[in-house]
Amino acid sequence: MYQVGQEEIDAITRVIRAKALFRYGVGHECERFETRYAKHLGVKHFALAASGSNALAAAMTAVGLGPGDEVIIPSHTYMATATSVLTVGAIPLIVDIDETITIDPKAIEAAIGPRTRAVVAVHMWGAACDMNAIMAIAQRHNLIVIEDACQGVGGGYEGRKLGSIGHIGAFSFNYYKNMTCGEGGGVAVNDDVLAERARCAIDPCHFYWQGRNDAVKPFSGNGARASELMGAMLNVQLDRLDGMVQAMRAEKKTILEATSSLGNLGLKATPMNSPDHDCATQVMYTLPSADAARRFVALFPSVIIGKTGRHTYTEWDQVLMGAGAAHPAMNPFNMPANAECRKTYSRDMCAKSLEILDRTVMVATHPEHTAGEIADLIHNIGVAARVALGATPIEEADLRNAKPVDVQKFDLKLDA
Ligand SMILES: Cc1ncc(COP(=O)(O)O)c(C=O)c1O
């Protein structure tokens, strides 16, 4: 979810007119955004990258993950969380989520073995993981915590911003995120050396542009440098972020309050780890069964979380097939260093997650929803819930202005 308007067009036009498309020595938009977003997050460093996938791999490179390491990840996340582990030569260990739709701390603790070095906390759909529990487990077992905050732009956990709580965080600014520049991402971190390593992973030549740092030895990597067009757009997007999230939180609160009585029928607000701080791009409900969820979305345009087609481990073909790299010798699944890592996957290995995901639905909010549109949503959620849960016959379903499902609405508001 994001908003775009004339301000973004003006900012990009200025960069093009100045012929200042390169971030080092030519333009200053990327650097300005990095400084501003680091301040927004409350971290010392933010390093822009070309995508969230690049940012995740750079974060894992920065903390030194590689062959011989297992990295715990949740069963429900975009596949880049898993593939970035493979990109650095390590092995993803997939564990269950709980009803919050985020990684289950109990599943993390149960999965830890002698080779486990890190865990990725993914804040799915803008909802925070149980960071207190995860950080405590990490401390007990000496694990690195990487926050995948790609879907958590603008969100928080108990007052701290998502992506700023673990040892390192990664963000995405792709088309579907709360701030976008088309494609983009970045790494958030406090530690100076980790920041330098992340910058090297993002741009192995960054020492040339930004000067050498004797504390960090350069290493080889792929290029994922951001352009000034991205920086310019993100600077405008950052100005919009807080207002947008506040509006969505207010809408979510109104909807949840107005639909709370449906809990008696079986439509329960999905439990959240930090209910007042999420991005609130979605209102999530947990139903008693997959059949009830199917009936709910059949009537009222909304999404069953387990059916998005790309966010559940059963969709990650490369991982399930053991295709961890294009070249067999670079495939972490074949590497002798990974011989002792656990790497057997099956489609039913996280059956508990699938069961939860198939009975959890989400309804999209939008910062520009009018009071009338919100009232219609509330009415329609009630109608769909009563039919789905058997309290009202389908013939009596009187939906109001139900629009086709629109999880990420693109709003281009032009002056002329
Ligand atoms: C949870 C999560 N992690 C990682 C990514 C990867 O980001 P990108 O698409 O910018 O590479 C995404 C993007 O959708 C995501 O949702």
Per-residue pLDDT of 312-321, as tens digits, reads 999 999 999 9
For residue 56, the ligand 1 atom closest to its alpha carbon is: 4
Mean pLDDT over residues 166-193, rounded?
Answer: 96
- Pairing, β 185-189 against β 45-49: antiparallel
Residue 126 Cβ contacting ligand 1 at under 6 Å: no
Can you give the pLDDT at residue 409? 46
What's the 382 CA to ligand 1 centre distance in angstroms?
A: 33
Instruction: Give the residue whose CA is nearest to atom 14 of ligand 1.
Output: 78
The chain-wide mean pLDDT, for the chain, equals 94
Residue 202 Cβ contacting ligand 1 at under 6 Å: no
What's the 159 CA to ligand 1 centre distance in angstroms?
A: 24
* Cβ count within 10 A of residue 116: 20
Can you give the pLDDT at residue 1? 64
Residue 151 Cβ contacting ligand 1 at under 6 Å: yes
Q: Which residues, listed in sequence order, are joined to residue 362 by a DSSP beta bridge? A: 284, 303
What's the 168 CA to ligand 1 centre distance in angstroms?
A: 16
- Whole-number Å distance between alpha carbons of 192 and 238: 24
What's the 78 CA to ligand 1 centre distance in angstroms?
A: 6
Mean pLDDT over residues 362-366, rounded?
Answer: 94
Find how far residue 303's CA is from the centre of its chain. 17
DSSP state of 1: -
Which CA distances in Å does 19 have to 9, 12, 228, 229, 317?
Answer: 15, 11, 10, 11, 42
What DSSP line would sit under 256-301, residue for residue?
HHHHGGGGGTT-EEPP-SSTTTS--SEEEEE-S-HHHHHHHHHHS-
Can you give the pLDDT at residue 3? 82
Mean pLDDT over residues 59-64, rounded?
Answer: 98
Provide the token pair at 256: 């949840």
Q: Residue 175, SS3? A: coil
What's the 84 CA to ligand 1 centre distance in angstroms?
A: 10
Residue of 24, 90, 12, 87 whose CA lies nearest to 52: 87
Per-residue pLDDT of 250-308, as tens digits, reads 999 999 999 999 999 999 999 999 999 999 999 999 999 999 999 999 999 899 999 98
Which CA distances in Å does 22 have to 16, 31, 360?
Answer: 11, 11, 44
Mean pLDDT over residues 231-238, rounded?
Answer: 98
Can you give the pLDDT at residue 214? 84
What's the 172 CA to ligand 1 centre distance in angstroms?
A: 6
Mean pLDDT over residues 43-63, rounded?
Answer: 98
Instruction: Give the residue whose CA is nearest to atom 7 of ligand 1.
Output: 52
When pLDDT is cut at 50, 70 and 90, the band that residue 407 belongs to is very low
Provide the token pair at 347: 């489609």
Can you give the pLDDT at residue 155? 98
Mean pLDDT over residues 135-139, rounded?
Answer: 98
- Whole-number Å distance between alpha carbons of 207 and 380: 56
- Whole-number Å distance between alpha carbons of 144 and 378: 42
Q: Please answer whether residues 361 and 302 qualify as being in contact, where contact means their C-beta atoms are separated by less than 8 angstroms.
A: yes
pLDDT over 70 percentage in the chain: 97
Instruction: Give the residue whose CA is nearest to atom 10 of ligand 1.
Output: 52
- Whole-number Å distance between alpha carbons of 366 and 304: 18
Residue 150 Cβ contacting ligand 1 at under 6 Å: yes
Mean pLDDT over residues 204-229, rounded?
Answer: 90
Q: Residue 413, SS3? A: strand
- Whole-number Å distance between alpha carbons of 228 and 234: 10
Can you give the pLDDT at residue 158? 97
pLDDT at residue 412 greater than cutoff 80: no
- Whole-number Å distance between alpha carbons of 143 and 116: 7
Can you give the pLDDT at residue 212? 86
Mean pLDDT over residues 22-51, rounded?
Answer: 97
Can you give the pLDDT at residue 182? 95
pLDDT at residue 411 greater than cutoff 70: no
Residue 51 Cβ contacting ligand 1 at under 6 Å: yes
- Whole-number Å distance between alpha carbons of 28 and 15: 10
For residue 124, the ligand 1 atom closest to its alpha carbon is: 1
Q: Which residue has the tokens 């040892």?
A: 167
Residue 77 Cβ contacting ligand 1 at under 6 Å: yes
pLDDT at residue 220 greater than cutoff 70: yes
pLDDT at residue 401 greater than cutoff 90: no
CA geometry: angle at 72 spanning 71 and 78, to 5°? 100
pLDDT at residue 192 greater than cutoff 80: yes
- Pairing, β 70-74 against β 116-122: parallel
Residue 73 Cβ contacting ligand 1 at under 6 Å: no
When pLDDT is cut at 50, 70 and 90, the band that residue 414 belongs to is very low
Can you give the pLDDT at residue 309? 85
What's the 1 CA to ligand 1 centre distance in angstroms?
A: 14
- Whole-number Å distance between alpha carbons of 40 and 24: 23
Residue 122 Cβ contacting ligand 1 at under 6 Å: yes
Provide the token pair at 415: 């002056």
pLDDT at residue 395 greater than cutoff 80: yes
Residue 309, φ and ψ in degrees, nearest 5:
90, -5
Which CA distances in Å does 132 have to 129, 267, 279?
Answer: 9, 28, 19
Q: Which residues, listed in sequence order, are joined to residue 80 by a DSSP beta bridge? A: none
* Cβ count within 10 A of residue 394: 12
| pTM for the model | 0.96
When pLDDT is cut at 50, 70 and 90, the band that residue 410 belongs to is very low
Can you give the pLDDT at residue 404? 65
For residue 183, the ligand 1 atom closest to its alpha carbon is: 10
